[in-house]
Structure 1
Amino acid sequence: MLEWRTMETRDFGRTGLRVSALGFGAGQIGSQELSEQEVGTILNQAVDLGITLIDTARGYGLSEERIGRHLSGRRQEFVLSSKGGYGAEGAADWTPEAVRLGIEQALRRLNTDVIDIFHLHSCPLDTLRHDDLLAALERARAEGLIRVAAYSGENEALAWAVSSGRFGSVQTSVNLADQWSSQHVLPEARQRGLGVIAKRPIANAAWQYTERPTGQYAETYWLRLQEMRLDPGELAWDEFALRFSAFSPGVSSVIVGTASARRLERNVALLQRGPLDREHREYIQAKFARHGLHWAGEV
């Protein structure tokens, strides 16, 4: 598999970390429907392919403990990102105690001494502004429990996080049908030297549905793509979407989750082709400008 290790790596803002253009979103591997053998195979394959960012969260089922179980022996080969602020045993959500205990509990589940990037996970703006919450995150960083204090979210809360000076990284949606952050927040994040992890880079593969996927994860993006009437031309939809997101200005890495070895290899191969040409990118941006200026980031 060594031939895959030519995948581009990038500086992660001013944090001193370096990450691959493609990261692994570990939400799917938290499902009990996957066996331990399946999970161990896909996680090790991701690292073998040169993926150096693995992103998980407290709310992703068995994900954290499975990463700790299957990758603890390869910990120096990847940047580890997680999220919390809620669900910590022994503390109320969105309190300093929840941040502290959540990090300590995550360290045990992940079987590691330090979490490279730790996000407050989609808490609302009023909560995000609480100084004692941010101070707890900063204390964890000062004590070496985490390396980068981060925020994962959208819209006004994301904009505040970037401008606050309290975070070294953010995670937000960036894709064909979700360009709010790209237009309103990422330029400032880039200027301030923040790392940026782009989630939902393939717009939840909404193009695969011939009819509206009512009540499903992809529904909002399906409606947006219907209105935009994008045509990928000679490119496959997944290539069209992934290369647009991964090479958007200010993006450090995109995270894509999968339990398929073939899909993982294809994602790596797609990004090795580099950014879309100027004509494709301008076409996508013009379509969004015509139809999507009123669309907020998908929460």
Structure 2
Amino acid sequence: MQQRDFGTTGLRVSVLGLGAGQIGDARHSEDLAGTLMNRALDHGVTLVDTARGYGLSEQRIGRHLSWRRNDFILSSKGGYDAEGAQDWTPAAIRLGIEQALTRLRVDWIDIFHLHSCPLDVLRQDELLGALDDAVASGLIRVAAYSGENEALHWAVTSGRFGSVETSVNVADQWSARHVLPHARDAGLGVIAKRPIANAAWQYARRPTGQYAETYWERLGVLDLGSVRHAAGLEWDEFALRFAAYTPGVHSAIVGTANIENLERNIRLAQNGPLPLDVLTHIHAAWDAHGQDWGGEV
């Protein structure tokens, strides 16, 4: 699978990464989790993204992938739920990283994100200093931020982070338009989350109260079905190729607990960027309807 330099961090990541949220679900077996993660690495996926809040994800990565530590770039997130510390304090950063290392059974985390904290929290010097200390001590390699909108813009332009993670998809282009150009100029690595827009197209009716509801509404307004159909693409390929090859994106992470879906996503990502005429239609639809839409949080 195609590998990309991750900004100026010195890391290299695959164009498709594995979002490890779903494998943290206790309803999925250990055998499935281990098989899926190792299959991903066997197929050339080199970025695995997890978080403190993803159930058993960190423990399962440690159990099934720690023996392959040099085969992948490990991304995690925190700032909250650290044992013995109040959320969003220097102690939460320090203890959270130490506890994550124990769960992951590794000596370092390549990319560690402050996880979707608001701007007033993000700008606290003591939190940023705690990240700097973690980098200096070798516990993490890159200090990062995961989030959207104004907080994301500040993180990219602050000079305090080496990478960011944000939503990039056909129904969520705010970051691609307003932030990713600055990230490229600053040499930051960029991980695109939600690249297939939570598969919102699979719902015949509004999925009220579900994760995909906002994207379902936006896709209805953007009316991209005819463009996709004319290009001869299924929704998942249409969406994934758009996100993975958006300028400034280094890796697009897709979560799954299905091995067939994992292998299909890998094949689709290798098909390269969408044709220029298709991209022109997608961008025109956003210009007409999405200007007032922020990034989905």
* TM-score bracket for this pair, using the shorter chain length: over 0.9
Which runs of no fewer than 5 residues in structure 2 stay unpaired?
none
Alpha-carbon distance in structure 1 between the residues aligned to 2:236 and 2:282: 14
Pick aligned residue for 1:106 from 100, 105, 128:
100
The answer as to 2:210 corresponding to 1:216 is: yes
Write out aligned runs for 1:114-153 (5 A). 114-153=108-147
Alpha-carbon distance in structure 1 between the residues aligned to 2:261 and 2:267: 10
The answer as to 2:254 corresponding to 1:256 is: yes
TM-score by length of 2: 0.98
Per-residue CA deviations over 1:141-166 (Å, capped at 9, x if unaligned) read: 00000000000000000000000000
**Large movers: runs of 4+ above 6 Å:** none
Three-state SS of the structure 2 residue aligned to 1:132 is: helix
Map of 2:294 onto structure 1: 296
Pick aligned residue for 1:287 from 285, 288, 293:
285
Amino acid at match of 1:104: E
Three-state SS of the structure 2 residue aligned to 1:295 is: coil
The answer as to 2:69 corresponding to 1:75 is: yes
Alpha-carbon distance in structure 2 between the residues aligned to 1:273 and 1:201: 15
Map of 2:185 onto structure 1: 191
Write out aligned runs for 1:166-177 (5 A). 166-177=160-171
Pick aligned residue for 2:16 from 8, 17, 22:
22
Q: Give the superposed CA RMSD.
A: 0.4
1:272 deviates by: 1.0
Alpha-carbon distance in structure 2 between the residues aligned to 1:210 and 1:289: 26
Paired residues in the alignment total 293
Three-state SS of the structure 1 residue aligned to 2:84 is: coil
Three-state SS of the structure 1 residue aligned to 2:106 is: coil
Alpha-carbon distance in structure 2 between the residues aligned to 1:70 and 1:239: 29
Map of 1:12 onto structure 2: 6
Per-residue CA deviations over 1:77-117 (Å, capped at 9, x if unaligned) read: 00000000000000000000000000000000000000000
1:245 deviates by: 0.3
Write out aligned runs for 1:150-165 (5 A). 150-165=144-159
Per-residue CA deviations over 1:128-152 (Å, capped at 9, x if unaligned) read: 0000000000100000000000000
TM-score by length of 1: 0.98
Per-residue CA deviations over 1:2-47 (Å, capped at 9, x if unaligned) read: xxxxx11000000000000000000000101011111111011111
Alpha-carbon distance in structure 2 between the residues aligned to 1:268 and 1:72: 22
Map of 2:48 onto structure 1: 54
Map of 1:3 onto structure 2: none
Map of 1:37 onto structure 2: 31
